[in-house]
Structure 1
Amino acid sequence: MQAWATVEDVSLQDIGYLTLVGTAYTIKFLWAPLVDRYAPPLLGRRRGWMLVTQLLLAVAILAMGALSPSSALMPLALLAVLVAFLSATQDIAFDAYCTDVLRKEERGAGAAIKVMGYRLAMIVSGGLALIMADQWIGWGNTYMLMGGLMLLCALATLWAPEPEHVARPPRTLREAVAEPLHEFFTRRGALAVVLLIVLYKLGDAFAGALSTTFLIRGAGFTPTEVGTVNKVLGLAATIIGALAGGSLMARWGLYRSLMAFGLLQAVSNLAYWLIAVSPKNIWLMATGVGIENLCGGLGTASFVGLLMALCRQRFSATQFALLSALSAVGRTYLAGPLTPPLVNWMGWPGFFLLTVVIALPGLVLLKILRGTIDDMEKQGEA
């Protein structure tokens, strides 16, 4: 939508306001208790919400294709807000569904497939959609096509299985709001686990906060070179890392995977340090970006597996939404604001060495909490 508004000469200030459309994703935990408490009449508590949101998403996206940002920016923006709300609600239901339906040994593979699906969707709705809109069928028709793809996705919801054990939903809305928090925070070590969630990918978040700026401004590569490597090699490496992480998790278990992938995730930041201290070399840059994304994919797979393991089935929608929101705290409120002054103070090489150090407290806390994580994983199965 940002690109569409740009090519139709919408003012820069109005385009800036469009970035607020995605706010629903950061506050989705506020209405997650409704998804836990109530169920549509078809397909059960999780698949029912997934189907409803997917059908409404298809209609809303199709409606966006009938408008134009140059002549109907406000109606288009309101539809986009609706799309974001429905999409965030679909996320709530789908994350809860994955938590409920996957067996313990399947969580790693499930997390990997989720990452792969998300990354492939970024290609389709990002790069491919821009090409189709610009060169083939126009913007309106591209939105129509995306709405049709959303309808096709709804078929998977119809065919998907129900969880083997269906938990009793909360009896009241008050219980749906209060009990997930009470149940989680009365577990032994709950606050320490929350801190772990914030810290586990913090080093990775700092390293990635200005990685594109570093490669262009700090290392001297062209936007085309960086874009090609990030979009092609980086994306492929992330998918491979997530799939490999899911496979290894099934054999290693949750704690061992978190520790091994967390260490690799931290050490892989040295690839950016090496790029920073070496003469410009496209092959070194591609290798470094590939390694960093591969290890990041491994860490993401184990981290999503951790979030699923920590959720209790009765409240999985609310608890997963809350935990995933907490996981964004470090990226949003620490890595984003603090990275520029740190780079100005230390330079790029020193900064990337610091990101390895930033990753260590999370790993130390993980080791301390090994028994707690095992206990909470067992409680989450109840």
Structure 2
Amino acid sequence: MIFLGFSAGLPFSLVSTTLSAWLADTQVSLSVIGYFSLVGAAYSIKVFWAPVVDRLPLPLFDRLLGKRRSWMLFAQLGVGIGLLGMSELEPVNHLQELAWLATWVAFCSATQDVAIDAYRIEAVAPQYQGAMAATYVFGYRLSLLVAGAGVFYIAEYQSWHLAYEAMAAAMLVGVAATLLVSEPEHAVDSRVRQLEERIETALGVTQDSSCLARLVAWFSDAVVSPFVEFFQRNGKAGVWILALIAVYKMSDIAMGVMANPFYLELGFSKKDIADVSKIFGFFMTIIGTSLGGVLVVRFGIMRPLLLGAVIVAATNLLFAALATVRPDIMLLAGVISADNLSGGIASAAFIAYLSSLTNSAYTATQYALFSSLMTLPAKLIGGFSGDIVADYGYYAFFTYSAVIGLPALILVMLLMRSGIGSDARER
């Protein structure tokens, strides 16, 4: 799971924050950099093809590797090829081609996420899921370090092109892990099957064996049933839960789009950014995630979830303050430490919350829904971040990114006050 987590996290930075730094370093305008962040929308709409990954076997690959591993390998090879293609381009002269390849990498990466989530749930017994998730997150964070600090070091002393070539080769870590692990068993839940049959009956396709009827039945089982099950279990509160998922990470993700261009404009070198933002920030994130896990065990899910929403929005104001003072490497380290520590706490609480909402029968599809909702609004808003910085400056942008964290605070408090989400679900 460490190796699979590494493979999942590697392309994420390479089509988001690291890519924005490459574009900024080659004098691409801030507005264009902001629009490039829309590439990450692939992670937010993966729910639309998650049922296909969850249910449909890949020809040839499936017979050799099994359903989960075949999708994982297909996605990993797609990411590697896309990164290799990006490494051959000069951003200023080939922006359109770079955008298409970055979109392909994001699509393959999101597909890999869906397949690995499904594998993780099916590979071991429920009592080991916590350990699986923890090792996956560690591998994911390690890859963010490599795709961040590693790329910055190579770019500083060699070139961005060589850096992206090296990252394409690093995807072989995930390929090797996929080939070495065993295909998990695919258990069938009788209660889920009953739900699917009731929905098929309501659609009138149970007695019809035509091709269209079979297609409708497949769509019903793979797409409709996971959503019906979620609202059947949560009732009207499901709307408020989905709204919270949609806005919880908005402040953090929207701010991250302009972080690296901000550091470069302050005058810090790529080596400074790698030293402070990537390596030091990596360890602060690990500490924050561990602390968040302890808080969840000690206080349940909802109170740490509220704390995470508060401190993530608050640390964005520290960036606003940083934009008004003379650049200083120690001050940068302090602000980044606070940001990564708070982000780690919030992430641990949020992952625990999402996990508590998922039915094991539809883990891949429902988790894809949650993670898509988690990032889509933020990615859409982040697309305009370059325009905001260009028109109003970094101080106004970071203040704005803190303010858009307020809806998450309100929704967490509403769910806590109504008694929805924590105590009953944790028991």
Same fold (TM over 0.5): yes
1:149 is aligned to 2:197: no
Q: Which amino acid aligns with 1:222?
A: G
RMSD: 4.9
Q: In the alignment, which residue of structure 1 is the partner of 2:414? A: 365
Q: In the alignment, which residue of structure 2 is the partner of 1:291? A: 338
1:95 is aligned to 2:117: yes
CA shift, 1:105, in A, is: 6.7
CA shift, 1:27, in A, is: 2.4
2:63 alignment partner, SS class:
coil
The worse-fitting range, judged by mean Cα deviation, of 199-208 and 72-81 is 72-81
Q: In the alignment, which residue of structure 1 is the partner of 2:45? A: 27
CA shift, 1:194, in A, is: 0.7
Q: State how many pairs are aligned.
A: 371
2:171 alignment partner, SS class:
helix
**d(CA) in 2 for partners of 1:164, 1:352:** 44
Q: In the alignment, which residue of structure 2 is the partner of 1:175? A: 221
**d(CA) in 1 for partners of 2:254, 2:94:** 39
1:108–1:247: 8 Å Cα contact kept in structure 2?
no
Q: In the alignment, which residue of structure 2 is the partner of 1:124? A: 146
2:277 alignment partner, SS class:
helix
The worse-fitting range, judged by mean Cα deviation, of 177-186 and 162-171 is 162-171
1:328 alignment partner, SS class:
helix
**d(CA) in 2 for partners of 1:356, 1:368:** 19
**d(CA) in 2 for partners of 1:73, 1:272:** 29
Instruction: For 1:249-264, list aligned pairs within 5 A.
Output: 249-250=296-297, 252-264=299-311
**d(CA) in 1 for partners of 2:334, 2:99:** 40
2:250–2:405: 8 Å Cα contact kept in structure 1?
no
Q: CA-to-partner distance for each residue in 1:21-40, whole Å, 9 max, x for gaps?
A: 55533322211110111233
Instruction: For 1:179-198, list aligned pairs within 5 A.
Output: 179-186=225-232, 187-188=234-235, 189-198=237-246
**d(CA) in 1 for partners of 2:41, 2:404:** 28
5+ residue gaps, structure 2, are: 1-13, 197-216
**d(CA) in 2 for partners of 1:64, 1:273:** 33
**d(CA) in 1 for partners of 2:373, 2:110:** 16
CA 1:3–1:244: 2 relative to 1, 3 Å = closer
CA shift, 1:190, in A, is: 0.7
2:38–2:380: 8 Å Cα contact kept in structure 1?
no
**d(CA) in 2 for partners of 1:340, 1:301:** 30
CA shift, 1:73, in A, is: 8.4
2:246–2:377: 8 Å Cα contact kept in structure 1?
yes
Q: Which amino acid aligns with 2:289?
A: A
Q: Which amino acid aligns with 1:97?
A: Y
CA 1:52–1:281: 2 relative to 1, 3 Å = closer
**d(CA) in 2 for partners of 1:165, 1:374:** 31
**d(CA) in 2 for partners of 1:306, 1:46:** 25
**d(CA) in 2 for partners of 1:233, 1:247:** 22
5+ residue gaps, structure 1, are: none
**d(CA) in 2 for partners of 1:73, 1:356:** 32
Q: CA-to-partner distance for each residue in 1:86-139, whole Å, 9 max, x for gaps?
A: 222101112333455577676666555444433432332344235446745983
The worse-fitting range, judged by mean Cα deviation, of 247-256 and 346-355 is 346-355
Aligned-residue sequence identity (percent) comes to: 33
Q: Which amino acid aligns with 2:47?
A: F
